[in-house]
């Protein structure tokens, strides 16, 4: 790793091509989707990625570091926020993006596996929290802009509004099993917007 003493998965691996990192992270994602976190093994990931085991062990040290880097990569690849000039449209775009991600055969299964792993592995939980902090910060800008336009009261907590959009959608994925579709996305966005206008998220 480039930074001596840095926690595995917290920095980009150096000295080799990006292709190696991409292959390893892809293989790690495949294992998570197919078998879950409990079956994630660095040797198996190395075999699938067709790279040396020592490379994987040296760069990621353990499964938690590998998952952390996978989540970092997912955050980097995420779609940037929409800026329509309308709070309702921006929140609807956010909600529909969440639904598309969670219903994607690979991405949805990958998120479910990582979330399940986070319930029993502290470092995976930390990596997951960092991932969502990045995404919430990305989309909070649309709420801040709505405050500046006068659509929302001053002091509105932008992060809380964005969390309110996605929370019912994740509940459907992980708890209720109710349909995840555009209708659910639009209801979640509308509910968050109505609550925000009513001052529910003012701090």
202 strand-pairing partners: 156
**For position 36, what pLDDT does the model report?**
87
CA atoms within 13 A on the CB side of 193: 19
Count Cβ atoms below 10 Å from residue 148 Cβ, excluding itself: 10
Instruction: Report residue 192 as tokens.
Output: 């968050």
Which residue ranges in the chain fall short of pLDDT 70? 1-17
Say whether 103 sits in a helix, a strand or coil. helix
Reported pTM? 0.83
Residue position matching structure tokens 């995420």: 78
Length of the chain as a residue count: 203
**For position 6, what pLDDT does the model report?**
39
**Per-residue CA distances from 154 to 84, 143, 144, 147, 182 (Å):** 20, 11, 9, 6, 30
């Amino acid at each position: 790793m480039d930074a001596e003493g840095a926690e595995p998965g917290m920095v980009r691996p150096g000295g080799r091509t990006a292709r190696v990192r991409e292959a390893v992270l892809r293989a790690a994602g495949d294992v998570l989707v197919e078998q879950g976190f409990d079956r994630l093994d660095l040797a198996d990931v190395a075999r699938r990625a067709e790279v040396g085991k020592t490379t994987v062990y040296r760069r990621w040290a353990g499964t938690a570091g590998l998952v952390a880097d996978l989540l970092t990569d997912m955050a980097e690849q995420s779609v940037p926020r929409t800026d329509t000039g309308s709070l309702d449209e921006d929140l609807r775009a956010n909600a529909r993006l969440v639904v598309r991600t969670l219903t994607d055969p690979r991405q949805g299964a990958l998120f479910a596996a990582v979330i399940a792993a986070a319930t029993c592995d502290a470092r995976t939980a930390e990596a997951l929290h960092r991932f969502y902090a990045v995404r919430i910060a990305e989309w909070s800008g649309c709420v801040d802009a709505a405050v500046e336009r006068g659509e929302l009261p001053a002091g509105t907590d932008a992060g809380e509004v964005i969390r309110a959009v996605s929370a019912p959608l994740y509940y459907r994925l992980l708890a209720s099993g109710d349909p995840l579709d555009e209708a659910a996305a639009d209801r979640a966005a509308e509910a968050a917007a109505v609550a925000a206008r009513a001052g529910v998220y003012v701090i």
